[in-house]
Amino acid sequence: MNGKIKTVAILGGGPTACTLAILLVRKGIRTAIFYVPKQATLLVGESTVPAIVPILRLLGVEDEVRGYSELKPGATVNMSPTQNFYFHFDRINNGLPGYAYNVPRDRFDATLLNAARKAGVKIIEAAAKPEKIPGTDKIKLSDESLAATENYFSGQPDLIVDATGRLRLLPKLLGIAGREGGRKDTALFAHVDRALLDFKGHVHSTRLDHGWSWRIPLPGRVSVGIVIPSEHLPRFGATKEERYDNLLKQDSVLSKVAGDSKRLTPVMEHANYQLVSERIVGDGWVLVGDTAGFIDPVFSSGLLIGMQGAVMLAKTIQKGSPRDFQRYQEQVMRHLKIWHGIVDSFYDGQLFNAAVVGENLKKKYSLFFKMFPYFENNFGRIFTGAASNSPFHIGVMRKFIHWSAEKEDHTTMEIH
């Protein structure tokens, strides 16, 4: 990328794409979104974190989102019947709002797409068809795709952004490999009419007999997801519906919190949540959001990484130099690596083992924690998104996690 970028084509119409498009047109950059309306109303990413709220305000959509969402005042993690961890956002000193939202994704996505349209983004309801230019690392829009823009760009756009998520349109076209995570899990999720909650509005992450589950309260229903090692699935049935319904009734934990619930929707299924592209910047193209890398549904990190990445990319495009794009790639890669580490420490039990050790230290040295509340707030700052990309805060957490693993047996909290 050399010179000023004046025109941008974004492939995909999800929250990340719309966030980027709105910020670009505000700076006078002609921006078009290519997207095919989604058929499915259920999408992973129904729970946000407080760091998303300032972005919603920046886009001018918070009031609308509040009107149809469930207020999320915190998060609960159930590791065992006797080990539960509660994060109340208004008790975390991080400069962010003391709340977030659990959002029906079909309405949330529609809100952001409509906001993009109102801002002046050209919305093209068609799948973009990019083509690789032989012998180069460059791509272009096909003649058919250019025709669909009705000469909006007066030729090829200066930059093509892939925000197609797990479709990974440009990486597949260019042969860009992705680094997979070590786990081979399958996620099954649906909406049910009710489920038990420790706190109203909290998203619940709960350790199961095998794997873990999320419970996300939404208006009039609860999203219940099950993330389980794939080898365990056949014993629960032949179809995804059979497996989901039987897991709710047969898992020793789920049977207590959702065993009597009625499923309101079809079951959605996804496999392997951990994949990061080896490159996310090239000659006239760039990746953002889940296309660059997706981690895991735990801790509601997907929308956070995607929408923060969109804000970062908008600033990068305005500057436009190769060095700025290289810096964008480095920052996104670092953020994804950080979240991979957090997720790994959740699965191997070290993360909440550190929380237990921290609670014991707090009881023993209560005066110290009163004088230096920073230590108590550090985890909260990371999981609300306030410091999830801060090398210093992440470094403090990593050191404490490793130190704690030597003090207590973390394997009792491992996710199998």
* pTM of structure: 0.93
pLDDT at 225 over 70: yes
Q: What are the respective helix, strand and coil percentages of the chain, to the nearest 5?
A: 45, 20, 35
Q: What is the mean pLDDT of residues 16-25?
A: 98
For residue 343, pLDDT over 90 is answered with no
Percent of the chain at pLDDT > 70 equals: 96
In angstroms, the Cα distances linking 375 to 24, 82, 96, 396, 403 are: 38, 24, 17, 9, 14
Distance CA(407)–CA(192), nearest Å, equals 40
Average pLDDT over residues 313-332: 95
Beta bridge partners of residue 8, listed in sequence order: 31, 159
What does the alpha-carbon distance between residue 139 and residue 38 come to, in Å, rounded to a whole number?
25
Average pLDDT, integer, range 58-65: 98
Burial class (CB in 10 A: 0-12, 13-18, 19+), 97: middle
Q: Residue 133: pLDDT band by 50, 70, 90 thresholds?
A: very high
Residue 381 CA to its chain's centroid (Å): 17
Which amino acid is located at 72 in the chain?
K
Per-residue pLDDT, 340? 84
pLDDT number for residue 212: 95
Q: Which domains does the chain have, with CATH numbers?
A: 7-70+102-179+274-338 (3.50.50.60), 185-271 (3.30.9.100), 340-413 (no CATH)
Distances (CA, A) of 20 to 9, 14, 24, 58, 377: 11, 10, 6, 12, 31
| Arithmetic mean of pLDDT, 205-222 | 96
More confident residue, 312 or 370: 312
Please write the tens of the pLDDT for every residue from 237-292. 999 999 999 999 999 999 999 999 999 999 999 886 678 899 999 999 999 999 99
Read off the pLDDT of each residue in 26-39 and give the average, rounded to a whole number: 92
Return the pLDDT at 181. 75
- Print burial letters for 66-76: b (CB count within 10 Å at least 16), e (below 16): eeebbebbbbb
Poorest-pLDDT segment among 39-53, 105-119, 156-170, 349-363: 349-363
Asked if residues 193 and 261 have their Cβ atoms less than 8 Å apart, the reply is yes
Q: How confident is the model at residue 153 (pLDDT cuts 50, 70, 90)?
A: very high
pLDDT at 2: 57
Report d(CA 320, CA 387) in Å as an integer: 26
Query: What's the pLDDT at 73?
Result: 97
Which pLDDT belongs to residue 201? 97
Q: Which of 407, 294, 306 is nearest to 343 (CA)?
A: 294
Q: Check residue 416 and give its pLDDT.
A: 86
Burial class (CB in 10 A: 0-12, 13-18, 19+), 132: middle
Lowest mean pLDDT among 12-16, 38-42, 48-52: 38-42
Under 8 Å CB-to-CB from 124, ≥6 apart: which residues? 32, 33, 34, 35, 148, 149
pLDDT at 106: 93
Q: Give the model's pLDDT for residue 359.
A: 78
> How does residue 62 score in pLDDT terms, banded at 50, 70 and 90?
very high
Least confident range from 20-34, 226-240, 271-285: namely: 271-285
3 band by pLDDT with thresholds 50, 70 and 90: low
Q: Check if the beta carbon of residue 9 is closer than 8 Å to that of residue 34.
A: yes
pLDDT at 407: 84
